A and B are shown apart, each in its own frame.
Chain A
Amino acid sequence: GNSVTQMEGPVTLSEEAFLTINCTYTATGYPSLFWYVQYPGEGLQLLLKATKADDKGSNKGFEATYRKETTSFHLEKGSVQVSDSAVYFCALSTNAGGTSYGKLTFGQGTILTVHP
């Protein structure tokens, strides 16, 4: 079956530090990959996505590249801000067609705290 593994957290950084959150996956077929972010007290928001190998998703300074050879989708940001403090979820979805209906499989989430 499908599974997503994220690096253990929590992650604590100083403002302007470099961020990497590791994500690896196991999937049948050719999944699409996502990063969702959850701010305190809110629901999940899509941060970025990539739908095929070597695609790079980017948004708000965050980037992640779909690496099929290493089955990874690591999240990076060159300079984090206090406002980036949140929980980050890596997820995959198999093709929207057929019986899989694009079901999202989530990792366990990584808590990021950024200090001034």
Chain B
Amino acid sequence: DAGVIQSPRHEVTEMGQEVTLRCKPISGHNSLFWYRQTMMRGLELLIYFNNNVPIDDSGMPEDRFSAKMPNASFSTLKIQPSEPRDSAVYFCASRWTSGNSETQYFGPGTRLLVL
């Protein structure tokens, strides 16, 4: 299995620009998570989807952030407009929600730098 795929791996943009991060979960997984990692705040859960439906978006920092999952094999996280404080590594993770299966599988991350 190819694992969780994220693109781009690196993104450098200027303040005010729109940024779109992409994620392809592991085939067959029905739960998807977006995380943000910074030195100051560690790992933060932004949003969680189950069967393509957003279940918990309480971690989304503000209205500039939005996430979609149009089908089981694709999700996007969009920041519009971007700000320097959004600079971080963004991880996508997926999981098969079944019984006691709780293991999340992480992608390699997208390193975002907003100038």
Q: Which residues of A are at the interface with B, using a C-beta cutoff of 8 A? A: 32, 34, 36, 41-46, 49, 51, 89, 93, 95-96, 101-104, 106-109
Contact = CB atoms under 8 A, between A and B. Distances in A.
Nearest to A45: B106
A102 B106 contact: no
Given A42-B108, A44-B91, A96-B101, A101 B50 contact: yes
Given A89-B43, A101-B31, A101-B55, 15 more contacts: A41-B108, A43-B4, A43-B107, A44-B106, A46-B103, A51-B100, A93-B102, A96-B97, A96-B100, A101-B48, A101-B50, A102-B95, A102-B97, A103-B45, A103-B56
Nearest to B33: A104
B109 interface: yes
Ranked 4 nearest A-B pairs via Cβ: A43-B106, A102-B102, A44-B106, A106-B43
The interface residues of chain B, by DSSP majority, are classed as strand
Contacts of A106: 42-43
A107 B37 CA distance: 12
Contact of A109 (B42, B102, B106, B109): B42
A17 to B, nearest CB: 26
28 contacts: A32-B100, A36-B106, A42-B108, A42-B109, A43-B109, A44-B91, A44-B93, A44-B106, A45-B106, A46-B104, A51-B100, A51-B102, A89-B43, A93-B102, A95-B100, A96-B97, A96-B100, A96-B102, A101-B31, A101-B48, A102-B97, A102-B102, A103-B48, A104-B104, A106-B42, A106-B43, A107-B42, A108-B42
Contacts, number: 56
Q: How large is the interface on B (under 10, 10 to 19, 20 to 34, 35 or more residues)?
A: 20 to 34
A96 B45 CA distance: 16
A109 B99 CA distance: 28
* Chain A CB within 10 A, most for which of B56, B95, B104, B105: B104
Nearest to A36: B106
Contacts of A32: 100, 102
A42 B61 CA distance: 24
